[in-house]
Every structure is written in structure tokens, then in C-alpha cells.
């Protein structure tokens, strides 16, 4: 059983930056693909970014590519999401997830989820 705890959310103005962290415990962190997802009010949870355990490759949703960066530190069992040039439409609860997904952006393929952290971008 893997436990995930996100931190770093908050309120930021449009154009600003924010960094999220997700600390994992209870499993072999390096053997999981780590993903970030987000859910805005009234919308479905959507893929943001992920880092594959097998080849280290990172993938991004089109809406965040070039602005967000995912990274991981296997020694610290932590995955990060650096968010730059934030927009009001980035406002959502951000979730960290772990799994061995067949499709890196497919929500149901992830086994473990954090409780989420709120990110609010004001215009």
C-alpha cells in the first residue's frame, strides 16, 4: 500500500509560479509511474503530467506543455510539479497518483491517489 501526500498548493496571480510536491511512503517508489492530475469544479479529473518508472520519460497534457515540469527524486520518494506562467484556467485541485499504467494519461490505470491540494490562480 502506497500513501501519497501532496503539498504546495495555494493562491497565485496569473503569470506566477507555484511548486507542488508529493511524498510517497509504503511502497517501492522507483517502480511506479508518478502522475499529476487535476480536477476543476464540475469537471472530470484530467491528466496533467507523468513520469514513467521504466524509462524516465515525462509526458504532458497539451494545455500545460512548456509551462509545467514534472520531476522525481527516487532517493526522497518525492515527485514534484513546477508550474510556471499560471493561468486562471489552471485553477483546480491537483492530485498525485502512482501506478503502472498501460496508458500514462488514463485515470483508472493509476492505483494510488493523494488527497489533493488546491491551486487557485487569480486573474
Residue listed under C-alpha cell 488514463: 106
Question: For 25-54, how does the pLDDT look when each residue is reduced to its tens digit (9 = 90+)?
Answer: 998 898 999 999 999 999 999 999 999 988
Q: Give pLDDT, residue 1.
A: 87
DSSP letter string, 47-114? EEEEE-TTT--EEE-TTTTTTEEEEEETTTTEEEEEE-S--GGG-EEEEEEEE--SSTT-GGGEEEE-
- If residue 81 lies in a helix (H) or strand (E), which one and from where to where? strand 78-83
Q: Give pLDDT, residue 11.
A: 97
Q: Which of 40, 55, 31, 29 is nearest to 95 (CA)?
A: 40
Q: Give pLDDT, residue 54.
A: 87
Q: Quick check: 110 pLDDT over 90?
A: yes
Question: For 61-91, how does the pLDDT look when each residue is reduced to its tens digit (9 = 90+)?
Answer: 999 999 999 999 999 999 999 999 999 999 9
d(CA 103, CA 1): 21
Amino acid at each position: 500500500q502506497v500513501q501519497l501526500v501532496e503539498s504546495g498548493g495555494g493562491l497565485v496571480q496569473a503569470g506566477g509560479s507555484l511548486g507542488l510536491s508529493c511524498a510517497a511512503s509504503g511502497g517501492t517508489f522507483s517502480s511506479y509511474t508518478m502522475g499529476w492530475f487535476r480536477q476543476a469544479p464540475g469537471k472530470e479529473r484530467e491528466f496533467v503530467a507523468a513520469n514513467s518508472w521504466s524509462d524516465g520519460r515525462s509526458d504532458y497534457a497539451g494545455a500545460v506543455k512548456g509551462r509545467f515540469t514534472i520531476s522525481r527524486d527516487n532517493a526522497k520518494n518525492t515527485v514534484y510539479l513546477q508550474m510556471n506562467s499560471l493561468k486562471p484556467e489552471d485553477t483546480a485541485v491537483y492530485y498525485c497518483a502512482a501506478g503502472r499504467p498501460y496508458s500514462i494519461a488514463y485515470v483508472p490505470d493509476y492505483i494510488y491517489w493523494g488527497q489533493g491540494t488546491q491551486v487557485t490562480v487569480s486573474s
